[in-house]
Amino acid sequence: MNIAAKPPLMIRLCGPRGFCAGVDRAIQIVVLALKSYGAPVYVRHEIVHNRYVVEGLEAKGAVFVEELNEIPEEHRAQPVVFSAHGVPKSVPEDASARNLFYLDATCPLVSKVHKQAMRHNKLGRHVVLIGHAGHPEVIGTMGQLPEGSVSLIETIEDADAYEPADPDNLGFVTQTTLSVDDTAGVIARLHERFPNLTAPAADSICYATTNRQEVVKQAAPGCDLFIIVGAPNSSNSKRLVEVALRAGAKKSLLVQRASELDWDDIGPISTLGLSAGASAPEVIVNEIIEAFRARFDAKVELAETVQENEHFLVNRELRNIELTHEDMAWVNG
């Protein structure tokens, strides 16, 4: 197909998009641990929810395990990294009991939610956690407190059905990667039912989740298709698909790689929205753009709301190791 025959396409590229500071830090921790200690470096669960990232780290010498007992005896001097989603208190306790050297890559904003939940508990409040059952972050947050100290609420219907033992002594926190709008509805219903419900000291939904949702809201109206780059087990990526549809995109898709694009299904479009969840690398965003350029006379315009300058330091043990552009080019381009 020659260029003249290609139909025109405007790509609204959202900014901010892709890696947040917490995800960037977690990947850097694994890369730096490999540089410092050599392979293998073990990682408990996916470091972040992205198959490209996991496979890229595996190629560098990372070994992903579900539980610490999978680490062979002969490798117990090697580091084990805990994922960005956070872990229950029992996990570092288990690592210490096994004499393992661990590096905690929990996002500092997830750690902040842990501290807020523990503060509610310390002040005698039963903790209400708004989040999705089974998500690693939810498991990690609930695992900071004794069993029975936390009640999980997923929906407004859950909030309606919830019957606490002491309705006047509740405090809530939320999973960091939820839809701002959906969470607001659940919190409003809980406040209606329990007027003395205590909010956390600071908003639990992280800045990156909020920022990515806000720019998708602005870019979505008039889009024939809105593509979110992300994994099907990424909560914040799935929320972006929903946000795009609610904000006016005619269709929205979650895509992990350009190879997943079904061109017959996409059909003729003139305006494409494009963003990426907080675990999705920029190289895949570029891959998607190039796939559309191969079939359309595509122009890219930046739809930007704010610029993110947050940076989280890696673990103290790794701060003297140089991290070069080449070390991260496989994800950042």
pLDDT digits (tens, 9 = 90+) for 134-171: 999 999 999 999 999 999 999 999 999 999 999 999 99
Amino acid at 46: E
Q: Considering the domain boundaries, does residue 199 fall inside one? A: no
Amino acid at 94: D
If pLDDT is split at 50, 70 and 90, which confidence band does 177 have?
Answer: confident
Q: The tokens of 242 are what?
A: 């929903």
Q: Are strands 126-130 and 170-174 parallel, antiparallel or unpaired?
A: parallel
C-alpha–C-alpha distance, residues 258 and 290, integer Å:
9
Are residues 293 and 260 part of one domain? yes
Among 164, 193, 222, give the residue marking a domain's end.
193
C-alpha–C-alpha distance, residues 225 and 37, integer Å:
45
pLDDT of residue 4: 61
Q: Considering the domain boundaries, does residue 1 fall inside one? A: no
Q: Considering the domain boundaries, does residue 141 fall inside one? A: yes
Q: Is 234 annotated as a binding-site member?
A: yes
CA distances from 322 to 29, 56, 192, 326 (A): 12, 19, 52, 11
CATH code, domain carrying 253? 3.40.1010.20
Q: Is 279 annotated as a binding-site member?
A: yes
> Per DSSP, what are the bridge partners of residue 331?
none
Residues in the chain: 333
In terms of pTM, does the model score above 0.95?
A: no
Q: Is 223 annotated as a binding-site member?
A: no
Q: pLDDT digit string (tens) for 306-315? A: 999 999 999 9
SS3 229: strand
Catalytic residues: 137
Q: pLDDT digit string (tens) for 252-270? A: 999 999 999 999 999 999 9
Q: Is 235 annotated as a binding-site member?
A: yes
Q: Is 252 annotated as a binding-site member?
A: no
Are residues 131 and 88 part of one domain? no
Q: Are strands 62-65 and 41-44 parallel, antiparallel or unpaired?
A: parallel
Q: Is 179 annotated as a binding-site member?
A: no
Contact 314, 263 (CB under 8 A): no
Q: Considering the domain boundaries, does residue 198 fall inside one? A: no
Report the share of the chain in percent with pLDDT over 90.
Answer: 93
Q: Considering the domain boundaries, does residue 201 fall inside one? A: no
Are residues 96 and 120 part of one domain? no
Q: Is 126 annotated as a binding-site member?
A: no
Tell me the Cα Rg of the chain: 21
Contact 253, 183 (CB under 8 A): no
pLDDT of residue 268: 94
Q: Is 49 annotated as a binding-site member?
A: yes
Q: Is 204 annotated as a binding-site member?
A: no
pLDDT of residue 178: 85
For all residues of the chain together, what is the average pLDDT?
95
Q: The tokens of 274 are what?
A: 């494009």
C-alpha–C-alpha distance, residues 309 and 306, integer Å:
10
* Total of domains in the chain: 3
Among 143, 169, 193, give the residue marking a domain's end.
193
Residue 57 carries which DSSP code?
H
Contact 2, 294 (CB under 8 A): no
Range of the domain at 300: 8-19+207-304
* pLDDT tops 70 at residue 1: no
The distance in angstroms from the start CA to the end CA of the chain is 28
- Angle at CA of residue 87, ends 85 and 91, nearest 5°: 150
C-alpha–C-alpha distance, residues 52 and 230, integer Å:
10
pLDDT of residue 179: 78
Q: Does 54 or 206 have the greater pLDDT score? A: 54
Rounded average pLDDT over 11-29: 97
C-alpha–C-alpha distance, residues 129 and 272, integer Å:
36
Backbone angles phi, psi at 44, to 5 degrees: -85, 115
Are residues 188 and 216 part of one domain? no
